[in-house]
Copies of this chain bind each other. A is one copy, B any other.
């Protein structure tokens, strides 16, 4: 397919390269910042522009908008094209786009410039206003991922907040752990086997069943000592709140069970 990109950030870069790798034709890359547009266009070997008029003029079957959520509505309103217009934002509804032919292609992953990701394992959640456009998005998505799921905007917003917990907040737990280690001269990489195993476990057990540590056992001596070792009030507050939440969760097996049905 012929694809134009509005945006040249982390997600756009990873997605554009993955699509090109599967033989799709990138027809134009737009970015507000010329340097970003040029960088990605050079990697792809396609034209770039800092004017949306060029996106409207270029030949494309699909225009993928991958920019920050707050700019989405305004930028989309300037697109005047017969192509299918889709955005990649997990937390924005399909109706943020004014186009009749509108859709969403949300690859649920954490993208950083410094690390390329392999798309084939990334779940892609798609939605389209028209049935034929859904088929188009399905075909495009399946060309790069083994796991393509249709999902409404309504459901996708819960997926997005769940992803914030599983990714951003889990990573912040690593960060807080690294902070403590740094303050005491212990290298962070001693923690990696534990982090790897914690992740490996939830492939086999539910996170509820996989939980260990002083909060599950409600070992008040250990928790009290831990609180005394933490040097910032924010760390202490997080320690208390997470421990209480773990403990509450363990006390409610019946309720948790029912969620699984």
Interface residues of A (CB under 8 A from B): 10, 68-70, 91, 108-112, 114-115, 117, 121-123, 147, 149, 155, 157-186, 188, 190-199, 201-217, 219, 221-222, 225-226, 229-230, 234, 237-239, 241-242, 244-246, 248-249, 256, 259-260
Contacts and interface: CB of A to CB of B under 8 A. Distances in A.
A155 B186 contact: yes
Given A112-B209, A114-B209, A219-B70, A165 B194 contact: no
Nearest to A164: B213
B202 A195 contact: yes
Contacts of A179: 256, 259
Query: 6 smallest A-B Cβ distances: which pairs?
Result: A182-B259, A168-B213, A166-B177, A175-B207, A174-B207, A165-B177
- Chain A facing B: main interface SS: helix
A259 B183 contact: yes
18 contacts: A10-B212, A68-B219, A110-B198, A111-B212, A158-B229, A161-B180, A161-B229, A163-B191, A164-B214, A165-B176, A166-B198, A167-B194, A168-B211, A171-B202, A174-B207, A178-B206, A234-B241, A234-B245
Number of copies: 2
Given A177-B166, A190-B123, A171 B210 contact: yes
A122 B190 CA distance: 9
Contact of A115 (B171, B195, B204, B238): B204
